[in-house]
Every structure is written in C-alpha cells, then in structure tokens.
Amino acid sequence: MPDYVIAPPAIAALPIKGSNAMFPVRRIFCVGRNYAEHAIEMGSDPTREPPFYFAKPADAVVISDADMPYPTVTKSLHHEMELVVAIGTGGSNIAIADALKHVWGYCSGLDMTRRDIQNEAKKTGRPWDMGKGFDKSAPMGLLIPAEGFDPSKGKIELRVNGKVTQTSDLSKLIWSVPEVIANLSELVELAPGDLIMTGTPEGVAAVVRGDLLEGFVEGVGTVTTRIV
Ligand code: MN
C-alpha cells in the first residue's frame, strides 16, 4: 500500500441480509424517468426515450434503518422509492441476455432529491448533481443475493408515516433491469460494487423532519429511515 498524505476515505458498504459480510459500494448510478406515470407527473413525455443517468457519490448511502438528516439549502426534499441493483461482475457492452449474470444482489432504496434545486437546474440547463448527489441522499435496505429474485415483476411501495404515497410494480419499468445494465455498460465500464437505482414510480412528494419512510420491494425487502 502506498503512503497517503491524508487518511484514505472509508469504503462505503451495504449490509447483507443474513450475513456479517458487507457489500462495498463503488459508484451509485441512477436512472431518470423510468416509469411512465412518474414521467408524466414530472411534466415529461413517457415515450420510450433512451434511458439517461445521473450519479450519487458512494458515501451518499445511508445504511438501513439509520436516520437521514434533512439536507441544507432546500425547502422541497422529495422521496423516490426504487429497486436498487448491485453489480457483482463488471463489464462493457454487456448483452441484454447476459445482464442479470452481472448482478450480485438487490435492495430497496430511496433516491432522495432536493426537488427545488433539481427543478432550477432543469430550467437553467445546469447539472443535477446538487439536487441529487448530496450527502446522505441514498437510504438503502439490506442487500439480498440475486439468486431466486426475478426483477421483471413485483410490487414496489412507499409509506410515509404509515400512509401509502407510492405504489406500483416493477413490470412497469420502461427500461427493464437487464436493458438498463446493457445500456449503461455501453456508456461506462461497469465494475463490481456499482449500484444502479432503477427509477421511481409515481407519487413522489415532499417530506419534513420527523417523517418515517418505509419502503419495500416484494421479494427484496424493506428500506426504512426517519427524516431528522
Ligand atoms: Mn430517482
């Protein structure tokens, strides 16, 4: 190991259900507008435009059940409930038919969004980074191994303070999990440890301090966080 002039950063990692081992996180990629009803609520046309991506830093992960601090410089913190794919084997130009072989596992996650900052960025043609990639913007649940889970269907739901705000099904993804992996692997070389947040269904809304967010994806598990 080289001598570093400052301490190297800690490795962000996700806990795994039923194991003491952790999954190290390399990068977090997120798919924009991947459910038609959400595209419509955001004022977009839900036709099958090519998928597009933004990113969060690996250390934006908030480990399952931990509190999420309300971020600075926003008056509109939105929840986006999503299926998260954890890449175990990297690759470039991955074929759709081979894509699921690259998946180590899945978890439930929240793509928390400073919507006011994102909307301003859209208006001015600026990057989304500060609307999406801020500190602790990605609460995630326990990771489950991929074996036996079929990401082509399954209920996805979020409750805020016990009330359902988002409910849909993975079968409504405009770009399926294998299609997203294949497409993203043309843009970057995917690597072990990469996470892909696959997009949110309709029903996104603002949360406030004290709110309890409880999401789940059928067959995967839950993500829970309280905004503090
Ligand atoms: Mn999202």
Q: What is the pLDDT of residue 49?
A: 83
How far is ligand 1, taken at its centre, from the CA of residue 87, in Å?
18
**32 Cα to the center of ligand 1, angstroms:** 6
Angstrom distances, CA of residue 192 to CA of 5, 9, 85, 104, 181: 27, 18, 11, 9, 13
Tens of pLDDT along the chain (228 residues)? 789 999 999 999 999 999 999 999 999 999 999 999 988 998 888 777 889 999 999 999 999 899 999 999 999 999 999 999 999 999 999 999 999 999 999 999 999 999 999 999 999 999 999 999 999 999 999 999 999 999 999 999 999 999 999 999 999 999 999 999 999 999 999 999 999 999 999 999 999 999 999 999 999 999 999 999
Indicate the domain borders of the chain: 13-226
CATH homologous superfamily of domain 13-226?
A: Fumarylacetoacetase-like, C-terminal domain (3.90.850.10)
Ligand 1 centroid, distance to 30 Cα (angstroms): 6
Secondary structure class of 172 (helix, strand, coil): helix
C-alpha of residue 82 to centroid of ligand 1, in Å: 7
Residue 66 CA, ligand 1 centroid: distance in Å: 20
Q: Global pTM?
A: 0.97
Length of the chain: 228
pLDDT at res. 57: 98
Phi-psi category of 43—alpha, beta or left, where left has phi over 0 and alpha has psi -120 to 50? left
CA of 109 to the centre of ligand 1 (A): 10
Rounded distance from Cα 11 to ligand 1 centre (Å): 23
Q: Do 55 and 29 touch, CB atoms closer than 8 A?
A: yes
pLDDT of residue 51: 93
For residue 113, how far is its CA from the centre of ligand 1 (angstroms)? 8
Q: What is the distance in A from the centroid of ligand 1 to the CA of 94?
A: 23
CA of residue 7 to ligand 1 center, whole Å:
32
Distance 31 CA to ligand 1 centre (A): 6
CA of 112 from ligand 1 middle (Å) equals: 8
List all residues 6 or more positions away from 193 whose beta carbon is below 8 Å from its beta carbon. 23, 24, 25, 26, 27, 58, 86, 87
Query: What 3-state class would DSSP assign to 171?
Result: helix
Distance 85 CA to ligand 1 centre (A): 13
Angle ∠(57,29,18) on CA atoms, nearest 5? 85
The answer to whether 35 and 172 have CB atoms below 8 angstroms apart is yes
User: 163 CA to middle of ligand 1, Å?
Assistant: 20
CA of 5 to the centre of ligand 1 (A): 36
* Distance between Cα 19 and ligand 1 center (Å): 28
- pLDDT of the residue at 98: 98
| Tokens standing for residue 128 | 């989304």
Q: Which residues of 1-25 are buried (b: 16+ CB within 10 A; e: fewer)?
A: eeeeeeeeeeebbbbbeeeeeebeb
CA angle 45, 140, 9 (to 5 degrees): 110
pLDDT of residue 1: 77
